[in-house]
Amino acid sequence: MTASQSRFAIPEIRHAELERTITAGSVAGIVAAVPAILLLVVAGGGYLPLYAIAGVVDPTPLTSAVTAASHGHPVEFFQYPFTAGLAMCLTLGAVSGVVFMAVVRRRKVTSRRLLLLYGSLHGLVFGLVAFYLGLLPTLGLVLDVRWPAPDLVQLVGWPALVGAYALHGVVLGAWAAWRVGDLSARDASA
């Protein structure tokens, strides 16, 4: 019995279709991550949320910044942790976008209302649950670093954190609705 005859055969995905999904999804995810990051930065009173996100690798800058702020001193800007936190947010946004585009393309969703609804649900379920409560704490365990999740929640609060993930999803759905051509299964070279 060949793979194409098997009852459990995975449908063949054309290379151009896969490439198109990855490209469209990663761009959409990065675009959608920007307003979510801005919401976290505003809610956190500056760049401290990005230190908290990068804190999975090295929590020292976050600890130093929070200590300085709590004593009324100016918070020092740490370029590398800021850049690492920003890069982690944009990368996770791109991955989220690829997953979202793959799902909505597979399900052939083109309704603008459904894309917005699926986007917001995706932002909350995939982003908040899978990334924030799943992947990042696991990464902290693997790297043997205390995950500063409580610090991020204390900095921005649960409403802002949930709002940032929902905003990411809504913008992702809006981007897909605006660029509905990215959802078609036509060949990218056509």
- 83: pLDDT confidence band, cut at 50, 70 and 90? very high
78, containing H or E segment: none
Q: Is the pLDDT of residue 12 over 70?
A: no
Encoded tokens for 80: 């590398």
Is 7 a member of any domain? Answer: no
* Full residue range of the structural domain in which residue 146 is found: 15-183
* pLDDT at 2 exceeding the cut of 80: no
Q: Is residue 149 included in any domain, yes or no?
A: yes
Is 175 inside any structural domain?
yes
User: Can you give the pTM of this predicted structure?
Assistant: 0.79
Hey, what amino acid is at 57?
Answer: V
Does residue 137 form part of some domain?
Answer: yes
Highest-confidence segment of 35-39, 63-67, 125-129: 35-39
- DSSP letter (8 states) at residue 180: G
Q: Is the pLDDT of residue 71 over 70?
A: yes
Give yes or no for residue 33 having a pLDDT over 90: yes
pLDDT in tens, 112-157: 899 989 999 999 988 888 877 787 778 777 877 666 555 677 888 8
Does residue 3 form part of some domain?
no
CA distance 47 to 45: 7
Question: What proportion of the chain, given as a percentage, has pLDDT over 90?
Answer: 31
Residue 162 lies in a domain: yes
What pLDDT was estimated at residue 8?
A: 56
Q: Tell whether 113 is covered by a domain.
A: yes
Q: Which residues contact 95 (CB under 8 A, 6 or more apart)?
A: 26, 29
In this model, does residue 190 exceed pLDDT 50?
A: no
For residue 177, the one-letter residue type is: A
Number of structural domains, the chain?
1
Average pLDDT score, the chain:
82
pLDDT for 134 equals 81
Select from 94, 92, 84 the least CA-distant residue to 50: 84
